[in-house]
Chain A
Amino acid sequence: MLQRSSMGSIALAAVVWMTSAAAQAFDESKYPDWSGQWRRTSGIQWDASKRLGRAQQAPLTPEYQAIFEASLADQAAGGQGNDPTYKCIPAGMPRIMTVVFPMEIIISPKTTYILFDYSTPRRIYTDGRSWPKDLDLQPTFLGYSIGKWVDEDRDGRYGALEVETRGMKGPRSFEASGIPLHQDNQTVVKERITLDNANRDVLLNDITTIDNALTRPWTVTKKYRREHNPIWYQNDCSEDNHHVTIGNENYFLSADGDLMPAKKDQPAPDLKYFKQSRK
């Protein structure tokens, strides 16, 4: 009896200890191993299976197709069209997931962080929260992301992270060619992030963008390759940015630091305030 009681106490103590450890420790074994550095496996186009620009066959509404065509014409003339990132505005969602520069993913029970070396981080909340009521009051380029871990094969370990992102602001475009998102910024982005079953050093992200510039949800799959022993390079857009925006015009800084036209026959900026200051 005494022995049975002792055994019970030991068992209870073990269970309490394990429960306590579980409560305090982050059980990594429940989550996939997405550590390391993830690099893109293709160019900087949105749909990696197609070339940049018109070849993307973005399902744009006629109105936004016309905006896109005007952007392409402006870019052909030396302008930047609808691509706002030339003045170091963040790519925002969903474009940031092209991962022009490498990314790191940190998984914690309540939040999964996606870190980029040229942007503020994405926080994907997986604590079961609802959308904040004031989501539209403080929109951001990266938006607000809520995620859910899924264990589809029921092996006791999550295999996929499903994410929905809302609350974005603009201007944003899908890629450098200037494929536009709608000015109303009502974009919703849905992602499903998983490791490739055939190669655990490949991460897949199925991204579906729902936007009023599109005639239908647009789904692309992004693929990233893992680097286990990464070197991180900080990329600071403003450090050597030669674009200068004055009013609605984009100019360029020459190698010797002087202002120069970005387009053929572009007029010089109006210096009327300098005239006034000389009075």
Chain B
Amino acid sequence: MRNSIGSFALAAAMIAAAVGAQAFDQTKYPDWSGQWRRPSGVGNQWDTSRPPRQGQAPLTPEYQAIYEANLKDQAAGGQGTDPTYICIPDGMPRAMNVIFPMEIIIQPIVTHVMIEYLSMLRRIYTDGRDWPENVEPSFMGYSIGKWLDEGGRGRYDVLQVETRNLKGPRSFDASGIPLHADNQTVVKERIYVDKADPNILHDEVTTIDNALTRPWTVTKNYHRERNPVWVEAICAEGNQHVRIGNENYMLSADGYLMPAKKGQAPPDLRYFDRTRK
């Protein structure tokens, strides 16, 4: 009889091992399914604890001057140091403003963060890999993550992420708070669900950048929608901004080029003159 029990236990163990080998054990990972949205009333400012344009970015004097010049340009109708008006992706860390909703797909090797805007797809590798060599920089960068079981409950509850290998131009938000032109930004994140409310996700984002005098940490909060509707947000569709040379112009409702700033000179049309010769 003992043998029978032993055989059964062995069989059960073998089945369990087989299931374990083939299946992705979701019970080890947190449930971050659904659609994550920024809280209502929160704009697209980087530091959401302060109203837009009233954040206190710890900029170096050089980059504070760049930021001030940008604000002046924006006040005059320009776009300053915000590059996204021509549909360039937000990049990291700004993508985590989550202007349009986000979905997170957790798999053992990689966690995908999909933001419904342009090509703002993040792959966070959690397979223990090292930083790659000779990978082209990108707006979203290269992300390596590590799952932590801080609660000691046998289930991961925090995803710690580091992102490098970014390219520019990028800014923290639409006010144009700049990141350094050297693109040596390092972004560290801690992503976890709120202990009191499983439908709130937090992302503590620390940006280390040569435009800053110190690492800058802000906490982003997202609300879960369990029955989401996904709406395509296509920047280029209906974008009224036109960039010609270093100037930004606008398209009028009737489809003509128009100045974006008071007294702005029209674009140089010398190539048209040449073709008429």
Interface residues in chain A, defined as those with a beta carbon under 8 Å from any beta carbon in chain B: 3, 6-7, 10-11, 14, 17-18, 21-22, 24-29, 87-90, 106, 108, 113, 115-121, 123, 138, 140-142, 231-239, 244, 246-248, 253-254, 256-261, 264-274, 277
Chain B contacts of A236 at CB under 8 A?
88-89, 118-119, 139
B256 touches A238 (CB 8 A): no
A154 to B151 alpha-carbon distance, docked (Å): 43
For window 150-197 of B, CB contacts with A under 8 Å fall at: none
Chain A contacts of B270 at CB under 8 A?
258
Does B68 interact with chain A (Cβ within 8 Å)? Answer: no
A28 touches B23 (CB 8 A): yes
Shortest A73–chain B CB gap in Å is 20
B255 touches A246 (CB 8 A): yes
A25 and B19 in contact, given A115-B114, A120-B116 (Cβ under 8 angstroms): yes
Shortest A166–chain B CB gap in Å is 15
- Stretch in B43-51, B202-210, B218-226, B244-252 touching the partner: B244-252
Chain A contacts of B89 at CB under 8 A?
234, 236
Shortest B119–chain A CB gap in Å is 5
A265 to B275 alpha-carbon distance, docked (Å): 6
Chosen A-B contacts, 29 in total, with CB atoms closer than 8 Å, are A10-B5, A18-B15, A18-B19, A25-B27, A26-B26, A27-B23, A29-B22, A29-B23, A87-B236, A89-B234, A106-B112, A108-B105, A138-B231, A236-B119, A244-B242, A244-B244, A246-B251, A258-B268, A258-B270, A259-B244, A260-B271, A260-B272, A267-B272, A269-B256, A270-B256, A273-B257, A274-B258, A274-B264, A277-B259
B88 touches A115 (CB 8 A): no
A277 touches B263 (CB 8 A): yes
Chain B contacts of A11 at CB under 8 A?
8
The chain A residue with its CB closest to the CB of B22 is A29
A248 touches B23 (CB 8 A): no
Chain A contacts of B112 at CB under 8 A?
106, 113, 115
A277 and B264 in contact, given A6-B5, A7-B4, A270-B256 (Cβ under 8 angstroms): yes
A121 touches B121 (CB 8 A): yes
B237 touches A142 (CB 8 A): no
